[in-house]
Amino acid sequence: MPDEPTDRTPKPKPTPRKPHTGEVLHLTRAASVQFLRPIFVRVIRVLDWPTYDGWLWIDGYELAANSDAVARRSLFVMPAGLIWPDPPAPAARHRPTTRTPVKRGSVRVG
């Protein structure tokens, strides 16, 4: 019967999701050969620049090990290779602010 699917029937490929503003991505060689050394990036936006089919440009901040932004970058990546790491634990997400008391005293001029 021609209506029944066979093993040779092509199956649709899942469409990789696009990153959204504020998401953190782990970029490895699966995303692009430029990531010989994997990096973490916080997405600013997905750019609408022309690309090859199946690729996209993202604008983001490269993150240091402590999650501080160290460089702004525009990156050419393959969405199928993007990795969304698990979000950090709430305690690790917010660092406490350390404040040093200010000494008050008189200032002498002159």
pLDDT at 102 over 90: no
In this prediction, residue 3 has a pLDDT band, given cuts at 50, 70 and 90, of: low
Q: Which residue has the higher pLDDT, 106 or 41?
A: 41
Domain assignment present for 59: yes
Q: In the prediction, which pLDDT does 92 show?
A: 52
Q: In the prediction, which pLDDT does 52 show?
A: 84
Domain assignment present for 58: yes
Phi/psi of residue 51, each to 5°? -140, 175
Q: In the prediction, which pLDDT does 105 show?
A: 65
Task: Count how many domains the chain has.
Answer: 1
- Structural domain for 68, as ranges: 24-86
Domain assignment present for 56: yes
Tens-digit pLDDT profile for residues 15-25: 678 899 999 99
Beta strands in 56-106 (DSSP E): 56-63, 69-77
Domain assignment present for 95: no
Query: Does this model's pTM top 0.75?
Result: no
Phi/psi of residue 39, each to 5°? -135, 165
Domain assignment present for 69: yes
Query: Hunting for tokens 């993202």 — which residue is that?
Result: 58
Domain assignment present for 13: no
Domain assignment present for 97: no
Domain assignment present for 107: no
Is the Cβ–Cβ distance between 86 and 93 less than 8 Å?
A: no
